[in-house]
Amino acid sequence: MKRQTASFLMQRFEAAGIRPDARRGQNFLIDLNLVELLARSARLTRDDVVLEVGTGTGSLTSLLAASAGHVVTVEVDRRLHELAQEALGEFSNITFLRQDVLKNKNQIDPGVRARLAELLEASPGRRFKLVANLPYNIATPILSNLLAAPPHPDLMVATIQKELADRMVARPRTKDYGALSIWMQSQCDVEIVRILPPTVFWPRPKVHSAIVRIRPVEAKWKRISDRAFFQETVRALFFHRRKFLRSVTQSAFKGRMTKAEVDALLAECGLRGDERAEQLTVEQMIEFCETARRRLS
């Protein structure tokens, strides 16, 4: 496939009579070295089934298909979907889906999950990986929701907004530390591979981006008995992040725990109640949510 430079994309889009759609977060990675870094960071083999969200013109897709067993690439834009199919006709291991990858903000489309599950079950030992240049506006729900229900990814490598990457790796007592930090770190090892300036994209976004590598760790996520309860509770505790833990816990479990029961919960976890949620480590938050779940069951 030809090198995806800004001039190449401009000519191709002009020939097709289309232009990038800012509403859909269409910012194309035009530095070939970084496209290759994104693909290489996933360490793909023929045992891998890859989900790509945002096919675009197929530049990354071609690299993924050359190394992976199968690629499921999803594109919501009909024009880009058709361009990519035309450019990648030589590959027999690509499934092109023209649709939204999300059913809603809390759920990956069941049809996409079903197709991935079918490919994973086709051969023993297959692994599921996400590799994508994610549109900024859907990066959080995609990465979060892929961890929430099967099939669970073995690895996720993606370009996302740097601000989002900073939140994923943030430590307690910092401004970026929040519900997303805890959700990701409670189940995964998260690292920032590279910071990307706006100049490596066309059109140029107004902010920096980052390539992140997210590796789910079985020993970590097994500590969480009920992921839905954990995610819901952590979000509730950070809803008013400047309020004390006793107050936000009472709000989170209103109608399910009395004030005395909330105090007993805090005491069992070795907490005074005048802490804030942002002060708790990931381990403390897991213990707190697991203790609350047992008391409510």
pLDDT in tens, 77-95: 999 999 999 999 999 999 9
Contact 96, 102 (CB under 8 A): no
Predicted pLDDT of residue 8: 75
The CATH number fitting domain 227-296, selected from 3.40.50.80, 1.10.8.100, 3.40.50.2300, 3.30.70.3280: 1.10.8.100
Mean pLDDT for 132-155 is 94
pTM of whole model > 0.75?
Answer: yes
Phi-psi region of 68 (alpha: psi -120 to 50; beta: other; left: phi over 0): beta
218, two tokens: 């079985």
Distance CA 146, CA 151 (A): 8
Distance CA 94, CA 71 (A): 5
Distance CA 36, CA 40 (A): 6
Sequence-separated (6 or more) residues with CB below 8 Å from residue 7: none
Distance CA 107, CA 145 (A): 6
In the predicted model, is pLDDT for residue 1 greater than 90? no
Domain residues of the chain, as ranges? Answer: 6-218, 227-296
Distance CA 57, CA 186 (A): 35
221, two tokens: 């996520």
Predicted pLDDT of residue 217: 96
The domain made up of 6-218 is a member of CATH 3.40.50.150: yes
In the predicted model, is pLDDT for residue 57 greater than 60? yes
Contact 120, 151 (CB under 8 A): yes
Closest to 214 measured CA to CA, from 196, 187, 232: 187
- Sign of the C-alpha dihedral computed for residues 241, 282, 224 and 189 taken in this order: positive
pLDDT in tens, 212-227: 999 999 999 899 999 9
Predicted pLDDT of residue 2: 52
